[in-house]
């Protein structure tokens, strides 16, 4: 039996969320636990648990589309076009929802290195 996935529920309409972007492959919506004044998630409609899982057949095109949408949203929403894009892959990297997603965060200064 498949595990419940909150992002699959959002994509499927079981959890109501306003999409900031959507097409046949990708949706974007505000993170419910933002770490910055502006925090958007860009999520593929197809379930891939991790970035590594999405790298198979058709993966490069999907990953490119995720980054294109993330870049477009970040440039449009971030002050002076500044934003950070993050993909956490696996528990050791801080991934808590196992459905590939890209964080687009802006609206404050981000130090380097992150974490």
Q: Decide if 109 is catalytic.
A: no
- What CA–CA distance (Å, rounded) separates 74 from 60? 21
DSSP β-ladder status, 26-30 and 84-86: unpaired
Name the active-site residue from 39, 48, 99, 101.
101
pLDDT of residue 2: 55
Residue 97 CB partners (closer than 8 Å, separation 6+): 5, 6, 7
Q: How confident is the model at residue 1 (pLDDT cuts 50, 70, 90)?
A: very low
81 compared with 50, residue with greater pLDDT: 50
Of 16-25, 69-78, 106-115, minimum mean pLDDT range: 106-115
**Average pLDDT value for residue range 87-99:** 96
Of 1-5, 29-33, 35-39, minimum mean pLDDT range: 1-5
């Amino acid at each position: 039996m498949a595990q419940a996935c909150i992002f699959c529920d959002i994509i499927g309409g079981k959890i109501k969320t306003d999409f900031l972007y959507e097409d046949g492959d990708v949706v974007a919506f505000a993170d419910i636990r933002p770490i910055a004044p502006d925090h958007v998630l860009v999520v593929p409609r197809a379930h891939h648990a991790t970035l590594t899982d999405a790298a198979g057949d058709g993966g490069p095109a999907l990953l490119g589309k995720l980054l294109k949408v993330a870049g477009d949203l970040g440039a449009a929403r971030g002050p002076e076009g500044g934003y950070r894009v993050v993909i956490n892959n696996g528990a050791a990297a801080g991934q808590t929802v196992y459905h590939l997603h890209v964080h687009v965060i802006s609206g404050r200064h981000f130090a380097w290195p992150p974490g």
